Structure 1
Amino acid sequence: MIFTLICKDKPGQLDVRLANRPAHVDYLMALDKAGKLKFAGPFLGEDGKPIGSLVAVEAEDRAGAEQMAGGDPYSKAGLFESVEILPWNWVFKAPETK
């Protein structure tokens, strides 16, 4: 099942995001290599700077998605004000249906 991780940064934490970005990218690349990453990218503020993340992962259950969310270096660095984990059904333009 696909789960979306909707992560909102704490205000004023762009420096934390930038300092941990290389480890975050490595983490996502490892998830991708394991076949667990569906897509990912930052939410942007009005100024065009990142203010959060949207990550979609393939997990057996919510506990697996929670484990992946908790393993993200951004999460470990305390960047996020909130993380919402929701199951998601990819209906339109899903790669598997092309």
Structure 2
Amino acid sequence: MHFVAICLDKPNSLPKRLENRAAHLAFLGEKPEIVKLAGPFLDSAGQPCGSMLILDCPDEAAARAFLAKDPYAGADLFASVELRAYKPVLGAAL
């Protein structure tokens, strides 16, 4: 089952994001069977201010458990994390 995670950074947290970026990317890159698409949201200045991920997990609990292991979560980067079930219909196969 697919889930979309919408993660919004806390205010003024770009330095924390950049400090943890390499670990975050390594973590996501180790699980291509789970992480189908990922990337940052950008603010009006073009700076990262959140993350969007499409995950393939058996259920919502598994998706939440995966997100909790992300180095960004460990760094307490996000002000909010919304997780929604998602059904791909058009576009590249996930």
Aligned to 1:17: 17
Aligned counterpart for 1:54 among listed residues 32, 40, 52? 52
Aligned counterpart for 1:37 among listed residues 21, 35, 38? 35
**Long gaps (5+) in structure 1:** none
TM-score computed with the length of structure 1 as normaliser? 0.93
The within-5 A match list for 1:59-74 is 59-74=57-72
Backbone CA RMSD of aligned residues: 0.9
Following superposition, the deviation at residue 37 of structure 1 comes to: 1.0
The structure that is helix-richer by fraction is 1
Following superposition, the deviation at residue 31 of structure 1 comes to: 1.4
**Long gaps (5+) in structure 2:** none
Provide the rounded CA distance (Å) in 2 between the counterparts of 1:43 and 1:75: 16
Aligned counterpart for 2:82 among listed residues 73, 81, 84? 84
Identity between Structure 1 and Structure 2 (%): 41
Provide the rounded CA distance (Å) in 1 between the counterparts of 2:80 and 2:39: 16
Structure 2 SS opposite 1:6: strand
Provide the rounded CA distance (Å) in 1 between the counterparts of 2:80 and 2:57: 20
Provide the rounded CA distance (Å) in 2 between the counterparts of 1:67 and 1:94: 26
